[in-house]
A and B are shown apart, each in its own frame.
Chain A
């Protein structure tokens, strides 16, 4: 017997719990990836990474790095193994990741129609290969195995992937090699991958501000990041960075303007209270 759905039926149907649906079923690995990226985004250091997490309580000097970390983690999560490709020759074609980033080249959110394409470099062998080895340039000296067969055609060396460069930049930063990190971030900022480029710009802006005493350079980079996407998750870090950079320059009027802009866009930010407090200080005679 058919009858109209009552409110009670709807209440039962709309059950919200940790059970199945309506979100599409995903495997435990995909769930773990979401959790890992969220923890990084919220400022909790990776396991064994030293230091505690944040929950907003341990924000860095300019509050940045949190979303950037998440962004980099997210990029790395979609990275395909690129060091060795042992697929049969017939299957040597660019790979499409099943995971999605909010990041196509034009900066708009990704849809299923916008797969993240990560080109897998190819070595085509005429004879039985020992291996189809491809490494990033930094690793090439150590890992390339030359096929024994005489006629080997190799595809042109691929450009380094943004995630490799970001990882390298972060390593340089951890080693306090600011100049190297700056150069690597700049390289990523010039790439077509808008999400990676914006990540690199914000990270580089923070580097310039915190470690290279270059507030002007930091401002340039934060502005460029905002120009790429003024509403994305990284915009909060960029706007806060602008305010901090203006403070470093000693331009109180510009700092106040930057704080106003920050509060107008991110009133719920964990940094909002600090922004309001600083704004009051600036308004005081």
Chain B
């Protein structure tokens, strides 16, 4: 993944954009865990994670030709993944009744501490208001500033600030006074 994060654009990106399947496959293979993780941060429950990750990956691959190398490739990918996921969330909300919070088992057996902690975090996020969750993920996971979040979500700055403030409070409560490290 180091190559994709390098300030100098990975030559595989241009190759894939030009239709090189091997290059595209290599990029997709490297990206898929990150894409799944971001989708899961944004999406309530595990059930649709892989479907949405696949859609997001398609959007990334289709858009490779528009990557100008002006920033980190992964940051560019994250934005596309977030946009695709939001689009799916809107569709789900439009088509279905609000789902019950999925009873998510935090499968800790034979897992690393980091995995367990992130699964617990996702479970806590599942209990938050969706708009607060989206703001928190874009800020803390994707690293967006408030104006960037506002633009992405189509919400005023103050609204985003409010969502972040309330979201942090709700998340701390959902995490149940865990030890700060």
Interface residues of A (CB under 8 A from B): 1-7, 9-26, 30-32, 34-35, 37-39, 41-45, 47, 52-58, 67, 70, 74, 100-102, 107-112, 231-233, 268, 270
Contacts and interface: CB of A to CB of B under 8 A. Distances in A.
Interface in B1-43: 1, 16-21, 24-25, 28-34, 36-41
A47 B40 contact: no
B102 A3 contact: no
A136 to B, nearest CB: 27
B57 interface: yes
B124 to A, nearest CB: 10
A31 B33 contact: yes
A44 B19 contact: yes
A10 B169 CA distance: 11
21 contacts: A4-B177, A10-B136, A11-B140, A13-B117, A13-B140, A14-B41, A14-B137, A16-B141, A18-B30, A38-B57, A39-B24, A41-B58, A44-B19, A44-B21, A54-B62, A57-B19, A100-B50, A107-B95, A109-B88, A110-B48, A270-B62
Contacts of A43: 62
A14 B133 CA distance: 12
B172 interface: yes
B111 A22 contact: no
Contacts of B55: 41, 233
Interface of B: 1, 16-21, 24-25, 28-34, 36-41, 45-51, 53-55, 57-58, 61-65, 78, 83, 88, 91-92, 94-96, 99, 102, 107, 111-112, 114-119, 121-122, 136-137, 140-142, 168, 171-172, 175, 177-181
B179 A2 contact: yes
Task: Tell me the interface secondary structure of chain B in the complex.
Answer: helix
B171 A231 contact: no
Given A11-B140, A37-B54, A52 B21 contact: yes
A109 B21 contact: no
Nearest to A37: B54
Contacts of A31: 29, 32-33
B180 A38 contact: no
A96 B126 CA distance: 27
Given A31-B32, A37-B54, A25 B47 contact: no
Contact of B24 (A9, A17, A55): A55
